[in-house]
Amino acid sequence: MTNELKDIVDHVINDSNQNKFVLATVVHLEGSSYRRPGVRMLINNNGKSFGNVSGGCVEKEVIRQSQSVFKSEIPKIIKYDGRFRLGCEGILTILIEPFILSKNFITEFNNSIEKRLSIYSSSTYKLEQVEDLNLGTQIQIGELNFSFRKKFSPKFHKKNLYFKQSFPPIFKLLIFGAEHDAVQLCRSSSLLGWEVTIVAPPDEDKTIHFFKGAKNFITPIIESFKTNSIDKQSAIVLMTHSFNKDIQYLITLKEIFPAYFGLLGPRKRREKVIEKFLDHYPDCSIEFLDQLRGPAGLDIGAESPSEISISILSEILSVIRQKNVLALSTKNGNIHD
């Protein structure tokens, strides 16, 4: 959800009309709903919204209820019982609060995103519908605490509850290769809010404008590629369509353990790539080899570059969410565990 929080902050920063804003956050859920607690929605004083807290059945009510917060500047709790509506079967508890960003917060927030540091939040709420100045959210960035309205410091009360949430670094995808299927994978993964870097050979004549949604386009000499920014919130997909370049990149990445490491192409090609790689680096660890997933992707019958990108992204999600793949129609219980 880090990318969604960043989108909300960016939306306020880029607002040129000097609108006032309130923030709606799902802080508690009884039963099932379209999204988990922690989803947020921004509303301005003209009734325009950004983001969502459900599949569409709650947003109008949130916008209506938010108008009193603009007038009073007092946070409030609203309850939405989806059992009496089509589509949702849970009871949502939603905190609506003024949303004012200080210059210090914006600076520290952007620095933490750029440096790939985790951010933490704690929202004070109650389970009944109420207006209360003791309700609200604090954000922790490093050793600093920020509130969305002035002089807000929650006081402990036995009836107050606290919804706590951590925001890890934005998930990053490194695509090694610059062919047409890399273009589609870049486009699709950017729609997930991921930070995409295209790593192309030095002789590549394309630019970042060819890759919609990419944040970075780099063409380093393979041997000098810097790997220090690859962490457990990163995925790698090797798809150069060049046997020799795949081997060169593997040699450069031989000590890297991202959240996901995929190789494009059939199983026989993967075996040949690894065999040749081991000729150059026979002391490679078993752990490195075991993490290599090839062919990358899930078996969904994908054929076109767009379908293949969905297949690869589906496998990445299943790995980072630690899910065994199955049809939701065969799953017992709630969609969200």
- Tell whether 336 is covered by a domain: no
- Tell whether 23 is covered by a domain: yes
Which of 127, 146, 167 is the last residue in one of the domains? 167
- Tell whether 275 is covered by a domain: yes
pTM: 0.85
CA–CA dist 254, 252 (Å, integer): 6
Q: What is the pLDDT of residue 227?
A: 86
Number of other residues whose CB lies within 10 A of the CB of residue 207: 13
Q: Does one domain contain both 10 and 65?
A: yes
Please give the distance of CA 237 from its chain centroid, rounded to a whole number.
Answer: 18
Which of 167, 189, 222 is the last residue in one of the domains? 167
Q: What is the pLDDT of residue 153?
A: 76
Exposed/middle/buried for residue 75 (C-beta within 10 Å: 0-12, 13-18, 19+): buried
Per-residue DSSP letter, 127: S
DSSP code string of 18-82: ---EEEEEEEEEES--SS-TT-EEEEETTS-EEE-SSSSSSHHHHHHHHHHHHHH---EEEEEEG
DSSP code string of 200-244: --TT----GGGSTT-SEEE---GGG---TT--TTEEEEE--S-HH
CA–CA dist 325, 306 (Å, integer): 20
Kindly report the CATH number assigned to the domain that includes residue 277: 3.40.50.720
Number of other residues whose CB lies within 10 A of the CB of residue 34: 20
Q: Does one domain contain both 113 and 241?
A: no
CA–CA dist 51, 71 (Å, integer): 22
Q: Does one domain contain both 220 and 285?
A: yes
CA–CA dist 265, 328 (Å, integer): 28
| Unique residue bearing structure tokens 């207006």 | 131
Q: What is the pLDDT of residue 4?
A: 93
Q: What is the pLDDT of residue 202?
A: 87
Kindly report the backbone phi and psi dihedral angles of residue 290, in degrees, each rounded to the nearest multiple of 5, phi listed first.
-65, -25
- Tell whether 333 is covered by a domain: no
Q: Does one domain contain both 114 and 208?
A: no
Q: Does one domain contain both 28 and 129?
A: yes
- Tell whether 332 is covered by a domain: no
- Tell whether 184 is covered by a domain: yes
Q: Which domain holds residue 316?
A: 172-320
Q: Does one domain contain both 14 and 107?
A: yes
> What's the structural domain count of the chain?
2
22 in Cβ contact with 43 (< 8 Å): yes
How far is residue 241 from each of residues 173, 179, 182, 273, measured CA to CA in Å?
18, 8, 10, 12
Q: Does one domain contain both 160 and 183?
A: no
| Unique residue bearing structure tokens 């969604």 | 4
CA-based nearest residue to 139, from 157, 117, 114, 171: 117
Q: Does one domain contain both 48 and 158?
A: yes
Q: What is the pLDDT of residue 152?
A: 82
Q: Does one domain contain both 152 and 297?
A: no
- Tell whether 329 is covered by a domain: no
| Three-class secondary structure of residue 294 per DSSP | coil
Q: What is the pLDDT of residue 7?
A: 93
Q: Does one domain contain both 181 and 107?
A: no
Q: Does one domain contain both 138 and 234?
A: no
Q: What is the pLDDT of residue 146?
A: 92
pLDDT tens per residue, the chain (337 residues)? 899 999 999 999 998 888 899 999 999 988 777 778 899 999 999 989 998 888 777 888 889 999 999 999 999 999 987 666 545 567 889 999 999 999 999 999 999 999 999 999 999 999 999 998 999 999 999 999 999 988 787 776 777 899 999 999 999 999 999 999 999 999 999 999 999 999 998 888 899 999 999 999 999 888 788 888 899 999 999 999 899 999 999 999 999 999 999 999 899 999 999 999 999 999 899 999 999 998 999 999 989 999 999 999 999 999 999 988 877 666 566 655 5
Q: Does one domain contain both 28 and 95?
A: yes
Q: What is the pLDDT of residue 332?
A: 65
- Tell whether 205 is covered by a domain: yes
Which of 119, 136, 167 is the last residue in one of the domains? 167
Task: Tell how strand 260-263 and strand 234-238 pair up.
Answer: parallel
